[in-house]
Amino acid sequence: MSQKIIFQSVTGMHDILPEDYFFFKKIEKQVEEIALFYGFERIETPILEFAELFFHTVGQSSDIVQKEMFLLKTKGDDLLALRPEGTAPVVRAYFQHSMQNLLQPVKLWYFGPFFRYEKPQLGRYRQFWQFGFEILGEKSPALDAQIIQIFFDLFSSLKIKNLVLKINSIGDKCCRPYYKKALVSYLKSRVHLLCPDCKRRIKENPLRVLDCKEEKCQQVISSAPQILDYLCENCKAHFKLVLEYLEELGLPYFLDPKLVRGLDYYTKTVFEIFQEGKEEIGALAGGGRYDGLGKILAKKELPAVGGAGGVERIVSLLREKTSFEEKKPKVFLAQLGEKARKKALKLFEEFRKAKILVRESVGKDSLKAQLRHAERLGVKYVLILGEREVLEGTIILKDMSSGQQTKIKLEKIISEIKKRLKNN
Ligand code: AMP
């Protein structure tokens, strides 16, 4: 009869089991390597921030603030939020620690858990891991292209192919208001064809209507005015250069006039990267320029660009083609009797110091059970310490493939194993 499980993890929050942790580590290692090469330094901001930080930056009308924030009140009556994204906290930290006094641009990267109260589904969790790269303090479009290149480098190092880069410019405070006006007027003329959410968005966040997934809204959107026709000279020139740099870097892109990314702080370039044929899991990474964020947070100009990638989505792709390859131990240490167990504990430490991976089961008494364990691990050598061996100062070395057993002096066992592993 199966036992009823009393506790389960919270909806949308999952355990990272050893076989997935292997891929998490692999991604983190590659992210770190690429970050170091491009001159990024690591930053980790707290998981909790004042909720106001996100209200003001991500935007009151964004989905994140409207529906997806995990909020909590402290005993001191502060309203805090589990961070839903990494850019606003990084910019907060930039000003808090006066990084504007450092050599610009400041390049920072992070890797950690984020929280959004979304409907859990494929590729969408309530706690998920993101890594991100942010370049703060420089306005050159070359950096927009460089951020995109970094993600392509990362995916290529993880052997993730067939990437689709979608890119758009959403203008800035000079030209976006004109576009918004034209869009709102168009949407109002077709309001009866829109879903209830989009009806609300016309007033609160009209650009978000553009990435609504509802079929009937899609039809309205397909003939909507396009932002690229409304860009001011400055935004147009910036975007033209970004595209030229991407061409120079050999990064193919799709202009997607419907890509808006839904957060208030973006200006000019926005992008998302998908894997062809895997659109159903969503974007693997996304980002853009956010030149207005410094003004919102510290009333200071701070041109900046960045992007973030979703670890679980990348893990799901890696899991499909690679299997979990734990570094396999080749040696197993078995013991029989109390004196031998004591010696085995000590010997195990000596193997650790010699950096030889050894498995043991000092908690087991039966030699048969230990040998079964060793067999399941598929080790090449089993070392057996019994009471007699302890008295003699020896140890039995059993070669599992030939079945041959040899007695070795205890003080020689490490060098003997080293020699055998080297010759294998
Ligand atoms: P965003 O800030 O929404 O563009 O998120 C950046 C990346 O994080 C996305 O491209 C996804 O790969 C990943 N991501 C965002 N939200 C979730 C989620 N709820 N669950 C899993 N991954 C997510």
Edge-to-edge strands, sheet with 48-50: 48-50, 79-82, 70-73
Residue 63 Cα to ligand 1 middle (Å): 13
Which helix (H) or strand (E) element contains residue 31? helix 18-37
Q: Do residues 306 and 333 both lie within one domain?
A: no
Residues 271 and 347 in one domain: no
Do 283 and 414 reside in the same domain of the chain? no
How does residue 60 score in pLDDT terms, banded at 50, 70 and 90? Answer: confident
The atom number, within ligand 1, closest to the CA of 85 reads: 2
Residues 277 and 404 placed together within one structural domain of the fold: no
With a 6 A CB cut-off, is 116 part of the ligand 1 pocket?
A: yes
Mean pLDDT of 73-92: 97
CA 195, distance to chain mean position in Å, is: 32
Query: What is the percent of the chain with per-residue pLDDT over 90, rounded to a whole number?
Result: 87
Percent with pLDDT over 70 in the chain:
98
Q: Is 262 in the pocket of ligand 1 (CB under 6 A)?
A: no
CATH number assigned to the domain comprising residue 385: 3.40.50.800
Domain termination site, one of 288, 321, 354 = 321
Q: Would you say 334 and 385 are in contact if contact means Cβ atoms under 8 Å apart?
A: yes
Helix 141-157 with 18-37: angle, nearest 10 deg = 140
Residue ID of nearest Cα to ligand 1 atom 1: 286
Could you say which of 321, 342, 374 is where a domain stops?
321
**Same domain for 361 and 392?**
yes
Q: Quote the number of domains for the chain.
A: 2
Q: 129 and 73, same structural domain?
A: yes
122 and 167 in a single domain? The answer is yes
> What is the atom index within ligand 1 of the atom nearest the CA of 309?
7
**Is 195 part of a structural domain of the chain?**
no
Is 222 inside a domain boundary? no
Residue 316 lies inside a defined structural domain of this protein: yes
Verify that 379 and 240 share a domain, yes or no.
no
pTM of the model: 0.89
pLDDT of residue 321: 78
Q: How confident is the model at residue 20 (pLDDT cuts 50, 70, 90)?
A: very high
Model confidence pLDDT, tens digit, residues 252-296: 999 999 999 878 789 999 999 999 999 999 999 999 999 999 999
Q: Are residues 253 and 398 in the same domain?
A: no
User: Do residues 92 and 236 share a domain?
Assistant: yes
- 315 lies in the same domain as 375: no
Q: Is the pLDDT of residue 1 over 60?
A: no
Could you give the angle at which helices 141-157 and 233-248 cross, rounded to 10 degrees?
30
Mutate to test the pocket of ligand 1, among 131, 313, 315, 317 (most ligand atoms within 8 A of CB): 313
CA 9 / ligand 1 centre spacing (Å): 20
How do residues 362-376 score in pLDDT, each as one tens digit?
899 999 999 999 999
pLDDT (average), residues 97-126: 96
254 lies in some domain = yes
Q: Give whole-number Cα distances, 111 to 24, 160, 395, in Å.
A: 10, 19, 46
Q: 85 C-alpha vs ligand 1 centroid, how far in Å?
A: 9
Mean pLDDT over each residue of the chain, to the nearest integer: 94
Confidence of residue 65 (pLDDT cuts 50, 70, 90): confident
pLDDT at 2 over 90: no
Q: Is 310 in the pocket of ligand 1 (CB under 6 A)?
A: yes
**Cβ(22) to ligand 1 under 6 A?**
no
- What pLDDT score does 423 carry? 83
Overall average pLDDT of the 11-21 stretch: 94
User: Does ligand 1 have an atom closer than 6 angstroms to the CB of 27?
Assistant: no
Range of the domain at 361: 328-423
How many angstroms does the Cα of residue 181 sit away from the middle of ligand 1? 30
Strands (E), 311-379: 331-335, 358-360
Residues 250 and 361 in one domain: no
Q: Encode pLDDT of 204-214 as tens digits.
A: 889 989 988 88
pLDDT, residue 287, reads 98
Q: Indicate if ligand 1 lies below 6 Å from the C-beta of 370.
A: no
Residue 70 phi, psi (nearest 5)? -90, 110
